Chain A
Amino acid sequence: MLKVENINVYYGKIHALKDISLEVNDGEIVALIGANGAGKSTTLKTISGMMRTRTGSITFMDQNITHTESYKLISHGLAHVPEGRRCFLQMTVQENLEMGAYTNQKYTKEGLEKVYAQFPRLQHRRNQIAGTLSGGEQQMLAMGRALMSQPKLLMLDEPSMGLAPILVQQIFDIIKTLHASGTTILLVEQNAEMALRIANRAYVLETGHVAMSGSAADLAQDDRVRRAYLGA
């Protein structure tokens, strides 16, 4: 479904991604783990066209999207919930969700029903300004907003960031439900333990390159991974 081949990405002179290659197959949950500054967010940003590659290529659903403008990708079925949620804080919950269906107008009504069923807290607050939501609610809103486009691949950047353990569990449960209903997921997480538990496969990033990859179960048993990311 998604194939990233040898991409190199720079912030000015900083070489942030070095020859990164990764693949996501239809129906998988793939986790991307690694320390702060390893390049996880940059990888997602490059896939969704917010950053440009200097070399390398990105293919999504058999189409070369390496140079496709960011705003066109959502209609290809690629949704990205960015780091820090990035909800439209001055707009209402419902308006945020409507923006998610910007290129998928006809689905708005049905999508709202589905998202509200998935996140009942959002329904109660649908006329509230997003800026007044709690962090967890904003995370739910950001995820709900991405779902409004009916994505084939959902990329989540640290959905558990800053949330209380019980909410983290809830977010991971939701990810599992989404996956069960047929959405393929590329998940960036600091919380490697939880991520490896729900993922099929995983990539470990270190200072801009892929240090390890394999099945999530194998990586969770690997000594290096356990020491570096699982606190064992």
Chain B
Amino acid sequence: MIQLVETLISGLTLGSIYALIALGYTMVYGIAKMLNFAHGDIIMIGAYAVIVSVATLRLPAVVAILISVAVCTLLGVTIEFLAYRPLRQSPPLTVLITAIGVSYLLQNVALLIFGSEQKSTPRMFQIPDLKLGAVTISGVALLTLGVTAVIMIALTLFINKTRMGKAMRAVSEDKEAAELMGISVNKTITVTFAIGSALAAVASIFFGATYVYIKPTTGSMPGIKAFTAAVFGGIGSVPGAMLGGILLGVLEQLSKTYISTLWSDAIVFGVLVLVLVVKPSGLLGKTVREKV
């Protein structure tokens, strides 16, 4: 029983990180209609930004976090501007290949600067663990859960209630019609990349706090899992990415604890394939029929 509760909590924590990353995939897909394959590598860059800020520049944790968010946001927006915007009218395959190229570029730049050896993330949070009876919840897990919850609520309100959020939904449905309303599609896509990348930076901070070791390829695995989570939840759907990420994390930790560490990824992906066979649009994916 204690083991189950602890597994669930660690699953929720890991799932929160996946969800934060998955939001970037799903928002960019929903609005720019492309898979930003380089999104996972933004996490890696965010983690290095923290390491450099704290270990090399000796900056306080809060400043390091802000720097990491700023670096990732700027990087995401720059990548969109330089690599993807010129391809706005190109076939999806061209864009996908470009995104894979950007991903390798980021990894290799990191390799050049930081080398191939893994670096350890500095300890940034001194939060006491929480003991509830026999169950122990780590401070970092609590922080991850709390911050993710706040971000999800804020993001949901932003998308549903604000002018910019509504414009994003309009663009995701029909770019031309949105432009006829006076909405700049380019500006909206820039904002989307900025938000997605900032969320990836937050994810990278929690990822670093939990998994500690960072190397240039660190972003790939959480990136792929978060992408899967986005598809699982219904790509393009914001609540879907949240749900998909969390379920994926819980599933992963459950299978690690109760079945096999070695097989956990295979089990997780197996379940996902099953779900997608039954519901190809994902858990919360929308299928709206158009009226003629």
Using a CB–CB cutoff of 8 Å, the interface residues on chain A facing chain B are: 48-50, 69-72, 74-75, 79-80, 82, 84, 86-91, 95, 98-100, 102-103, 105, 131, 133-135, 138, 145, 149, 162
Contacts and interface: CB of A to CB of B under 8 A. Distances in A.
Contacts of A49: 179
A86 B288 contact: no
Interface of B: 163, 166-167, 169-170, 173-174, 176-185, 286, 288-292
Given A91-B169, A99-B166, A162-B292, A86 B183 contact: no
A105 B185 CA distance: 18
The listed residue with most A CB atoms (<10 A of its CB), out of B174, B176, B181, B183, is B181
A135 B169 contact: no
A145 B185 CA distance: 18
Contact of A138 (B183, B288, B291): B291
Nearest to A142: B177
A88 B171 CA distance: 9
Given A131-B291, A138-B291, A162-B292, A80 B173 contact: no
B169 A50 contact: no
A75 B182 contact: yes
Contact of A91 (B173, B183, B185, B286): B173
A135 B289 CA distance: 13
Contact of B183 (A71, A87, A95, A131): A71
Contacts, number: 83
Contacts of A87: 177
A149 B180 CA distance: 10
20 contacts: A49-B179, A50-B180, A71-B179, A79-B180, A80-B180, A86-B180, A87-B177, A88-B170, A88-B174, A90-B288, A91-B170, A95-B166, A99-B167, A99-B170, A102-B167, A131-B289, A133-B291, A135-B292, A138-B291, A162-B292
B290 A89 contact: yes
Contact of B176 (A50, A74, A135): A50
A89 B181 contact: no
Contact of B177 (A86, A95, A133, A162): A86
Contact of A90 (B179, B286, B291): B286
Nearest to A161: B292
A87 B173 CA distance: 9
Nearest to A132: B291
Contacts of B170: 88, 91, 99
Contacts of B184: 69, 71
A100 B183 CA distance: 10
Given A71-B181, A74-B181, A99-B166, 15 more contacts: A49-B179, A50-B180, A70-B176, A71-B179, A71-B185, A80-B180, A82-B180, A86-B174, A87-B177, A89-B288, A90-B169, A90-B286, A102-B163, A102-B181, A149-B182
Contact of B173 (A82, A88, A102, A135): A88
